[in-house]
Amino acid sequence: MIRRVPLGLSNKHIHLSQEDLDYLYGEGHELTPVKMLRQPGQFAAAEKVTIIGPKGKLENVRVLGPVRKETQLEVNICDGFTLGINKVPIRLSGHLEDTPGFIIEGPDGRRLVKDKGMIVAERHIHLSKEEGELYNIKDKDIVSVRFKGPRGLVFNNVLCRVGDGHLSEMHIDIEEGNAAGARNNQLVCIIDPLTFSSEEVLLQDKGERVFMVGDLPTIEVQDQDQKNLDKEVVERAKRAEKEEAAAK
Ligand SMILES: [Zn+2]
């Protein structure tokens, strides 16, 4: 079965707790939805904030709703460089222990200091329970995902989040997407070594049907080449030894 999911590209954005939203926008402020996202209940809000780091700032950072238990800033790796934080950890949403802090500046210049919460989002796929069953994928499974096109890539280490409250969609950030020349809503294909046999691996897109598989068979081929090479080197060394002995 070909297991396709639509792609959602994430630019830098922030999730705010109600407490932090109150501080920045005033007591009891409610986020204004401007665009519903594919994941049920999630939306892009009209609210935008400025993020300040040790060396620079990011303006017009979109707030995503609804409010969360904890404030979380999701950036591209290059946004970290702009802020002066060169090692923003790659984390799954909600895993904020030992992550860098930052300052949030609200619309009227009010500043809030956060001592943690900055992450680069770990690439992942959302699937509903039913979609997970159909695709034979369980919550927390790791898969590879194939992107076609002139900058085609296979993304490895893609975590699957399966369950109620999710709908089929792969989330990567803009940098990952640009690396693959990807567009929002394009269909990408979940692959793994079990999906197809190694004979079906085609390494080039030629506009025809492309069989898709993770990187494992390729590594096996390389391993085999290396073994042959090792064997040849050993044999050559033995031959040289013999010839040397014969010459004495
Ligand atoms: Zn997501």
**Residue 55 near residue 84, CB atoms below 8 Å:** yes
What distance in angstroms lies between residue 101's CA and the mean position of ligand 1's atoms? Answer: 22
State residue 207's pLDDT score.
42
Banded model confidence at residue 203, pLDDT cuts 50, 70, 90:
very low
pLDDT by residue (tens digit) across 36-46?
A: 999 999 999 99
The model's pTM = 0.77
For residue 144, the CA-to-ligand 1 centroid distance in Å is 16
State the distance from the centre of ligand 1 to the C-alpha of 165, rounded, in angstroms.
11
Distance in Å, CA 113 to ligand 1 centroid: 26
Over residues 178-205, mean pLDDT: 67
- 73 Cβ contact partners less than 8 Å away, ≥ 6 residues apart: 12, 13, 14, 51, 61, 102, 114, 117, 118, 119
pLDDT digits (tens, 9 = 90+) for 62-78: 999 999 999 999 999 99
Is the predicted pLDDT of residue 225 greater than 80, yes or no?
A: no
pLDDT above 50 for 214: no
